[in-house]
Amino acid sequence: MLSALVPRADLLTLVPELFVCGAAFALLMVDLFLSPARRGLTHFLALLILAAAAVLTVRDMAVAERVAFSGFFVRDVASDVLKMAMYAITALVFVYGKPYLQDRGLFKGEFYALVLFALLGMMLMVSAGGLVTLYLGLELLALSSYGLVGMDRDNPVASEAAMKYFILGSMASGLLLYGMSMVYGATGSLQLDEIYAAAGALPTGQGNGLLLGLGVVFMLVGIAFKFGAAPFHMWLPDVYQGAPTAITAFIGSVPKLAYFGMAYRLLEAGVGPLDLEWRVMLSWLAAASLVVGNVIALAQTNFKRLLAYSTISHVGFLFMGLANASPLGYAAAMFYAMSYALMGAAGFAAIMLLSRRGFEAENIADFRGLWRHHPWYALLVLFIMASLAGVPPFLGFWSKLVVIGAALDAGMTWLAVLSVVCAVIGAFYYLRVIRAMFFEEADGDGAQIHPDGHLRAAFALNAVALLLLGIFAQPLLHWCQAAFPA
């Protein structure tokens, strides 16, 4: 019946999305009939869904652009690369989150269903060929994220974080939608390729050209809000701190890939002819994020807030690549988004590794004495901090290097110099964590490692991957470059 209404070719193009959608609903229904003692089956099925989605994506991975539904859905190399990264990091979050949520009575099927629905929204965002598809995916991600942050209903801090996230996230979505409406009014189309063609023909600064320019400004503000870029970052530290750490690990890593895809689709595929205008705005947003994120992070004693302000600074680096507005810059920004998603997940996993029932290892002081009691895990946390700081040969160093190179290629020498200065500043607050682990004595028995073997193994894999992917960074970088051929 469905194939009679929708062309078969369109359905085949959307096989991974259709599978994740159906599987998420099925998982939610299966969980209704499971007792709490058997909820581990939900966890296993969620991981199986991610593995199957990855197989479906790889089996028919796009080597050339394909469109479906009259151009409103696009499948290309860039979208498939981002989806594969999303599957991998979401799987890590599932493994990290299970013991953490079990200890706090939050191990529910809703967690997995909401994450899968959020993943579906992100898959639509990176494959959007039109404004409607992009906004549909964005709202699916946003609504699922609000529910995730507010899962711990008995915790007033989490409820406050969910309320702040909902209010400010709704404001960001409204600004983005307002900008989209202006773009539609100026160009008369909702499809990105038609908007691109119309934008190149409109006069600048008058009539529909002025309306289009205003729409781009509002869309950029919405993009900056969603990323958490300064000066639109006010929601991010409170949400990261207030949400359960397993939820923070998800919203602080995987959505960055989707927001990169959204920014690329809107700015390049949509209003690319106006790049001279939005490149300047992006560069100043990058500068503000670098300064605000790194300077305020110096004053943090709460590790989750430190990682939140660190995220703001990393968004500044990512924007440097986007501001290049060329295949080189987009490849660099994608490489940075993938690198940060992996580093961010590992950073929040370090908190879950040291947390246990009745104790949240949210402060830097909680890492004191880790080297003395658990030297292997102290070394792994050192890998993560070094990668976040951009120390060679870790993955974070190469990701910073490629976006700085993209900024220099675009003639933004001032921004490249500022980013280097801010990276040096950022190294100080990462060194505080390292100092606490290696050179400070803990009170009492010192830091304790969570006994869950899967959590430990996934954490070790994630941390070591930051070193190995740094040493062998070229394959991943070439993969990103293949997504944006010159």
Residues 367-407 pLDDT 10s? 998 999 899 999 999 999 999 999 999 999 999 999 999 99
Q: What is the pLDDT of residues 53-79, one digit of tens each?
A: 999 999 877 667 788 888 899 999 999
Decide which of 152 and 254 is more confident: 254
Residue 1 pLDDT greater than 50, yes or no: no
Q: What is the pLDDT of residues 130-186, one digit of tens each?
A: 999 999 999 999 999 999 999 988 889 999 999 999 999 999 999 999 999 999 999
pTM, whole model, 2 decimals? 0.96
Q: What is the pLDDT of residues 21-53, one digit of tens each?
A: 999 999 999 998 888 888 899 999 999 999 999
pLDDT given at position 65: 79
State mean pLDDT over 469-474.
Answer: 93
**Considering the chain, what percentage of its residues have pLDDT values greater than 70?**
98
What is d(CA 263, CA 209) in angstroms, rounded to the nearest whole number?
Answer: 21
Overall domain count for the chain: 1
Residue 449 pLDDT greater than 50, yes or no: yes
pLDDT given at position 73: 94
Residue 85 pLDDT greater than 70, yes or no: yes
State mean pLDDT over 86-101.
Answer: 96
Residue 98 pLDDT greater than 80, yes or no: yes
Q: What is the pLDDT of residues 299-347, one digit of tens each?
A: 999 999 999 999 999 999 999 999 999 999 999 999 999 999 999 999 9
Task: Locate 395 and state its tokens.
Answer: 């993955």
Task: Give the domain range for residue 174.
Answer: 2-483
pLDDT given at position 445: 67
Decide which of 358 and 462 is more confident: 462
Q: What is the pLDDT of residues 269-279, one digit of tens each?
A: 999 999 988 99
Q: What is the pLDDT of residues 195-236, one digit of tens each?
A: 999 998 887 777 888 999 999 999 999 999 999 999 999 999
pLDDT given at position 4: 56
Residue 10 pLDDT greater than 90, yes or no: no
pLDDT given at position 70: 87
Residue 409 pLDDT greater than 90, yes or no: yes
pLDDT given at position 5: 67
